[in-house]
Structure 1
Amino acid sequence: MTQAEEKDRRGSFTAAGMKRGVRAALALTLGLMPFGLVVGMTADAQGLSLLETLLMSGLVFAGTSQVMALGLWTEPAPILAAALTCLVINLRMAPMGVALGPVLDRLHGIRLWGSLALLVDNAFALMVAEMRAGRRDAGFLVGASMVMWVNWMLMCGTGHVFASAIRLPPGHPVFFASLAALMSVLVPIWRGASDLLPWVAAGMLALLAHGVLGLGAPWPVLLGALGGGAIGAARDLRAAR
């Protein structure tokens, strides 16, 4: 094994990795555009200014959390309820960080915290595919995430600016964008039939929480994620033995 291969195996952060991440993220970024437009239009409808919308989008950088928080938005703003909702939904980021441990554990300072600050579902999925291919360059994660962040800011801002000109009725097909963007995350991390059990279990738990128990957002998402993750972890441990 060459020195370069050994460095990549242990984990690294290179400009070449960032460029590869940028290229890999472009296709997924196109799919995220309608999602950003929806968030921008929703923010305008709830009375947020363009500056407030951009600050929320740039600092939170989590579309599902933003949609949930905007759905709760009233005057005065329910800061505690919105913050709790975002916290519960974004708890899924914790196991994502753990899963990326082989890539992030050897990073320090701004490289580590910058990588974590930009972490989103789609970039995580692309990075998992990289790790399965034997590559552990954290630059790939940052490159992919940066492309998505820039696109997110542009689309949220555009949606807000042109919201009055493109008012859409509830139930319009474009509002499916948020669900479609989340579903696209599944493509690069699909490993075959062995993934069906945890994925189906996660979906069934979320449906049970919402349809049977009557729990509202964000609890179905959290229960589905934790249940599916636990089943997947048990499966992997059994296979490792």
Structure 2
Amino acid sequence: MAADAKGLSLLETLLMSALVFAGTSQLVALQLWSDPAPILAATLACLVINLRLAPMGAALAPALDRLSGLRLWGTLAVLVDNSFALMVAEIRAGRRDAAFLLGASLAMWAVWMVTTLLGHAFGAAVRLPPDHPVFFASVAALMSILVPLWRGWSDVFPWCVAGLLALCAQGLGLGAPWPVLAGALGGAATGAALDRHRNRGRA
């Protein structure tokens, strides 16, 4: 719907979803979209937002350390927040099959493509006000990712740090993608520091 509002054709929208496959990045790129398209600015914004995938990929090392070459980079190419959360739950349960991560990611890619097509085809028939409750759906979906990641109250502090940093960046007037990046990297660093401290205590 957002792409249609910016004048992108169905083919252009499907190509964006197929090649970028990152909802937040697509929305940020569309917010910056104009004529002529700001290719460099949009690319930089998407790069900054997707930097959060670097610590996510590192966290999956127990499942990915046996892969190399095309198998490794192909799996990482379709990594998204939802498949990351599912794979973390698998690793914590003692299962480390990287094929599960690839399968989950590809299934989500297929659903993403179908819903992109439906949204573009029928989005014009739905005109909702900006504050309509349905727009909370994407936020609710992201919040649901926290469920399989939950290990106990020790997880609350890094999550709070991530949220506060994102809010601070937003409050300072830093637009997208800086709040997302500040929250992602700050929360990841806090979680890593706490895990290291706990591991030292056990040693």
Q: TM-score, normalised by structure 1?
A: 0.81
Q: Is residue 227 of structure 1 aligned with residue 186 of structure 2?
A: yes
Give the aligned CA root-mean-square deviation in angstroms.
1.0
Q: Is residue 158 of structure 1 aligned with residue 110 of structure 2?
A: no
Question: Structure 1: which 4+ aligned runs deviate by more than 3 Å?
Answer: none
Q: Note the C-alpha offset of 1:111.
A: 2.1
Aligned-partner SS, 1:162: helix
1:100-148: CA deviations, max 9, x gaps? 1111121133321221111000000000000001110011101111111
**1:214 maps to amino acid:** G
1:6-39: CA deviations, max 9, x gaps? xxxxxxxxxxxxxxxxxxxxxxxxxxxxxxxxxx
Partner of 2:162: 202
**2:176 maps to amino acid:** A
- Contact 1:58/1:149 (CA < 8 Å) preserved in 2? yes
1:143-192: CA deviations, max 9, x gaps? 11111111000001110011221122222222222212211111110111
Quick one: distance in 1 between partners of 2:116 and 2:132? 18
Q: Is residue 143 of structure 1 aligned with residue 103 of structure 2?
A: yes
Q: Is residue 89 of structure 1 aligned with residue 34 of structure 2?
A: no
Identity %: 73
Q: Note the C-alpha offset of 1:62.
A: 0.4
Q: Is residue 102 of structure 1 aligned with residue 62 of structure 2?
A: yes
Quick one: distance in 1 between partners of 2:94 and 2:123? 44
**1:101 maps to amino acid:** A
Quick one: distance in 2 between partners of 1:107 and 1:225? 26
Q: TM-score, normalised by structure 2?
A: 0.95
Correspondence for 1:214 among 173, 177, 186:
173
Correspondence for 1:69 among 11, 24, 29:
29
Partner of 1:29: none
Aligned-partner SS, 1:214: coil
Query: What are structure 1's unaligned runs of at least 5 residues?
Result: 1-40
Matches within 5 A, 1:122-201: 122-201=82-161
Aligned-partner SS, 1:195: helix
Query: What are structure 2's unaligned runs of at least 5 residues?
Result: none
Aligned-partner SS, 1:164: helix
Q: Note the C-alpha offset of 1:234.
A: 0.7
**2:33 maps to amino acid:** W
Correspondence for 2:12 among 52, 66, 71:
52
Aligned-partner SS, 1:182: helix
Aligned-partner SS, 2:123: coil
Aligned-partner SS, 2:125: coil
Quick one: distance in 2 between partners of 1:231 and 1:191? 15
Quick one: distance in 2 between partners of 1:42 and 1:168? 12
Quick one: distance in 1 between partners of 2:138 and 2:28? 11
Higher relative contact order (CA 8 A, sep 6+): 1
